[in-house]
Amino acid sequence: MDANPSHGLKEPQRLPFESPKIRRLVLGAYWTIIILALPFWWRLTSIERIALPSDRVSAQLDRKLVFPLDVQLDAPSFENSSPHLARELNKVLVQTLRASPTWRNLDIRVGMGETAGARNRVGDRHADQSPVSNAYTVVFGDHTAVKHPRQLVVTPENASVQRLASILSELLAPEISSIQEQRVIQYSNRYRLAFTLLNENAASDHLENHLFPILSQLNILHNATVESQVQYHAPLAFEPTEFADGNTSFHGVTPEDLTVFINSAEWSLSSSVSNDPVLHFVLFVPSSSRQPLCILDAHGSRTNQTAFLLPQWGGIFILNRGAQDVMTHLTAADLVPVFSAFANQLIALLGVPSLPRNVSSDVASPLSDWQLDALLRRRTSENILNSQQTLDSIVKLVDQIESMPVDQKVKGDVHDALSALEEAYRSAVESPAVPLRWSSEALSLASHAFFNPGMLAMLYFPAEHKYAVYTPLFASISVPLIVALGREIYAWRRERRAARNG
Partner 1 sequence: MAKTIVTSALVLSLFVVSATPTKLSEGYHEDLAIRPLTDGKVITAFTFTTLLGGASPRDPRDSETSAQHYTFFPLTLGQILREYAVTELHLSLNAGKWNYDGWGYPDHPSVGTGAELWAWMADGGPLSVDERWIGLRNALAGLFCASIGSLDDRRTSSPASAFPLSSIPVHHDSIPYALRYATLPSEHVCTENLTPFLKLLPCKSRAGLARLLDPQHVFDADWHGLGVHVRSTEPGVELRLTVQAVLDPVRRSGGRRRDWSFLSLFNRRIDVPCPVANSSTVHLVVPAVRGYALSPEPVSSNDTVSVYSPTSHVPLDVAMSWPEEFTFNYPLPPPAPQTPLSIKRTLYGSSQTRGVLSVSLSNNGHVPITVGYLETLPALVTLWMHTLKVVVEGTPRVDLMSDIIYHPPLLLANGHHGPSTLQATLTIPPKRTLGLTLDLGKTFLRYTEHPPDAMRGWDLPPAVLFPVPVPIRSQGGRSIPERMYTPTLLLDLPTPDFSMPYNVIILSCTLITLIFGSIFNLLTRKWMVVKLED
Site residues (CB under 8 A) for partner 1? 4, 7, 9, 11-13, 18, 20, 23, 26-27, 30, 194, 198, 200-204, 207, 223, 225-230, 232-235, 239, 266, 268, 270-274, 285-290, 321, 326-327, 329-330, 469, 472-473, 476-477, 480-481, 484, 488, 491
| Least distance in angstroms from the C-beta of 237 to partner 1 | 10
Q: 266 or 399, CB closer to partner 1?
A: 266
Q: 240 or 315, CB closer to partner 1?
A: 240
314: left (phi over 0), alpha (psi -120 to 50) or beta: left
Q: 6 or 80, CB closer to partner 1?
A: 6
* 3-state per-residue secondary structure call for 133-191: CCEEEEEECCCCEEECCCEEEECHHHHCHHHHHHHHHHHHCCCCCHHHHHHCCCCCCEE
| Least distance in angstroms from the C-beta of 484 to partner 1 | 5
413: left (phi over 0), alpha (psi -120 to 50) or beta: alpha
Q: Which residues contact 400 (CB under 8 A, 6 or more apart)?
A: none
| Least distance in angstroms from the C-beta of 169 to partner 1 | 38
Q: 459 or 491, CB closer to partner 1?
A: 491
262: left (phi over 0), alpha (psi -120 to 50) or beta: beta
| Least distance in angstroms from the C-beta of 456 to partner 1 | 19
From first CA to last CA, the distance across the chain in angstroms is 17
Q: 325 or 362, CB closer to partner 1?
A: 325
The dihedral through the CA atoms of 11, 17, 19, 24 has a sign that is: negative
| Least distance in angstroms from the C-beta of 188 to partner 1 | 14
With vertex at residue 450, the alpha carbon angle to CA 449 and CA 452, rounded to the nearest 5 degrees, is: 65
| Least distance in angstroms from the C-beta of 348 to partner 1 | 22
Q: 43 or 233, CB closer to partner 1?
A: 233
| Least distance in angstroms from the C-beta of 324 to partner 1 | 12
How far is Cα 117 from Cα 52, in angstroms, rounded to an integer?
52
136: left (phi over 0), alpha (psi -120 to 50) or beta: beta
User: What does DSSP say about strands 106-113 and 67-74: parallel, antiparallel, or unpaired?
Assistant: parallel
| H or E segment and range at residue 111 | strand 106-113
List Cα–Cα distances, 109 to 134, 187, 376, 434, in angstroms: 11, 29, 19, 21
The C-alpha torsion from 158 through 161 and 166 to 172, rounded to 10°, is 100
Q: 163 or 290, CB closer to partner 1?
A: 290
| Least distance in angstroms from the C-beta of 462 to partner 1 | 17
| Least distance in angstroms from the C-beta of 261 to partner 1 | 15
How far is Cα 118 from Cα 96, in angstroms, rounded to an integer?
29
Q: 279 or 446, CB closer to partner 1?
A: 279
The residues pairing with 294 across neighbouring beta strands, listed in sequence order, are 252
| Least distance in angstroms from the C-beta of 441 to partner 1 | 20
Alpha helices in 312-432 (DSSP H): 332-350, 369-400, 408-427
The dihedral through the CA atoms of 265, 267, 268, 274 has a sign that is: negative
Q: 107 or 488, CB closer to partner 1?
A: 488
| Least distance in angstroms from the C-beta of 246 to partner 1 | 24
Q: 26 or 99, CB closer to partner 1?
A: 26
Using CB atoms within 10 A of its CB, is residue 48 exposed (0-12), middle (13-18) or buried (19+)?
Answer: exposed
| Least distance in angstroms from the C-beta of 407 to partner 1 | 20
Q: 57 or 202, CB closer to partner 1?
A: 202
CB 410 within 8 A of CB 48: no
The per-residue b/e assignment along 437-473, b for 16 or more CB within 10 angstroms, e otherwise, is bbbbbbbbbbbbbbebeebeebeeeeeeeeeeeeeee
CB 264 within 8 A of CB 314: no
Q: 23 or 148, CB closer to partner 1?
A: 23
Q: Tally the C-alpha atoms within 13 A of residue 367's C-alpha that lie toward its C-beta.
A: 28
